[in-house]
A = this chain, B = another copy of it.
Amino acid sequence: MPLDPLSSTFAALADPTRRAILARLALGETSVMELAKPFDMSLPAISKHLKVLEHAGLISRGREAQWRPCRIAPASFKQVDGWLGNFRRFWDESFNRLDGLLEEMKAEEAAKASPRSQRKVRVTKEKQRGRTRG
């Protein structure tokens, strides 16, 4: 039973070896041998990790003679970022300011549209903002 894409992506990211591999690939495409070097681990183990990363959509692999160069694949990263976005307001102060601004603008717009505006209290969370980030 295959997991949903987001689950397999998160599962792939849950291993420090695999994250280290991704960090290396962020510097540029490279071979399996090269990727394996920093690790005190057999080659098949690395091969398995790469399979997991590929299946999670975090890397893609080409073919050049006997090498299988690996590189970062953006899609799954983007998907993770998108999911994380649902929670950004919980920690990102500048996001909160933007969110507040958008809400204000929306409220004004609504007020203009219908003078007898009944405000729906869909205000998400606490209103404490006034902090400034450094």
Which residues from chain A sit less than 8 Å from chain B, CB to CB? 3-4, 6-8, 10-11, 13-16, 19, 22-23, 26, 28, 72, 74-75, 77-78, 80-81, 83-88, 90-92, 95, 98-99, 102, 124-125, 131, 133
> In the complex, what residues of B have CB within 8 A of residue A16's CB?
3-4, 6-7
User: Which residues of the partner chain B approach A81 to less than 8 Å between Cβ atoms?
Assistant: 81, 84, 88, 91-92
Number of copies: 2
What are 11 of the A-B contact pairs (CB < 8 Å)? A3-B16, A7-B14, A8-B14, A11-B14, A26-B90, A72-B87, A77-B84, A81-B81, A81-B84, A85-B133, A102-B133
**Complex interface: chain B residues within 8 A of A74 (CB):** 90-91
Which single residue of chain B is at the shortest CB-CB distance from A79? Answer: B91
Closest to A16 in B: B7
